[in-house]
């Protein structure tokens, strides 16, 4: 069942980030459907979060998407190479976002292999946010697209990951965020092979 627009309007980005573990993410790009269920996320808590692009209410052409009503895709380029897919959440003017860091593929594996230039499936096919976007055909072309449309959407298919199987740890690569770098805003399924940086 496709998640409704209202699902994304919660102002608790951290709780939502954890809740998205086990939800399915699908794309239909150029008529090709690909997807899987989310096994790793990171929450970015808007203007008060030093790790967020919108920290200090920073509004630029790039961050504008984050300031809209939740339920759209925020896709940006990282290091000039990787497209990164985020889910914008909360209400207008509150720029919350959740980075999808890893999924476990369930649909369109052959298409994902082609997009990733891989001959056989290995966990790194959708491990890490750059890999997720590439495998699912996500690019900045779909920035600001609704997550309730036919190009990119999320579903609740009844998969429940028990609380004790979800780790809550600091985010990856945000050392510039001073004390906010230590916040346990990254969630992942313990022991899942697709998780990008399993904390031993």
Read off the pLDDT of each residue in 142-161 and give the average, rounded to a whole number: 98
Given a cut of 90, is residue 80 above it in pLDDT? Answer: no
Tens digit of each residue's pLDDT (9 = 90 or more) over 97-132: 999 999 999 999 999 999 999 999 999 999 999 999
pLDDT digits (tens, 9 = 90+) for 54-71: 999 999 999 999 999 999
166 pLDDT more than 90? yes
Taking the whole predicted model, whether its pTM rises above 0.85 is answered as yes
pLDDT tens-digit series, residues 167-179:
999 999 999 999 9
Going 145 to 79 to 136 to 126, the CA torsion angle's sign is negative
């Amino acid at each position: 069942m496709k998640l409704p627009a209202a699902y994304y309007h919660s102002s608790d980005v951290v709780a939502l980030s954890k809740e998205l573990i086990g939800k399915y993410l699908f794309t239909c790009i150029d008529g090709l459907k690909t997807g899987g269920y989310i096994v790793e996320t990171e929450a970015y808590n808007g203007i008060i979060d030093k790790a967020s692009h919108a920290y200090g209410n920073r509004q630029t052409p790039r961050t504008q998407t984050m300031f809209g009503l939740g339920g759209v895709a925020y896709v940006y380029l990282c290091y000039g190479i990787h497209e990164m897919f985020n889910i914008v959440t909360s209400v207008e003017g509150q720029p919350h976002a959740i980075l999808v860091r890893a999924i476990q593929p369930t649909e369109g594996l052959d298409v994902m292999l082609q997009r990733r230039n891989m001959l056989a499936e290995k966990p790194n096919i959708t491990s890490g946010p750059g890999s997720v976007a590439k495998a699912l055909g996500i690019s900045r072309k779909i920035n600001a697209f609704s997550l309730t449309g036919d190009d990119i959407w999320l579903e609740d298919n009844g998969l429940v990951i028990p609380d004790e199987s979800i780790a809550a740890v600091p985010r990856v690569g945000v050392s510039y965020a001073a004390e906010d770098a230590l916040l346990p805003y990254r969630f992942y399924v313990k022991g899942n092979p697709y998780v990008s940086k399993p904390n031993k």
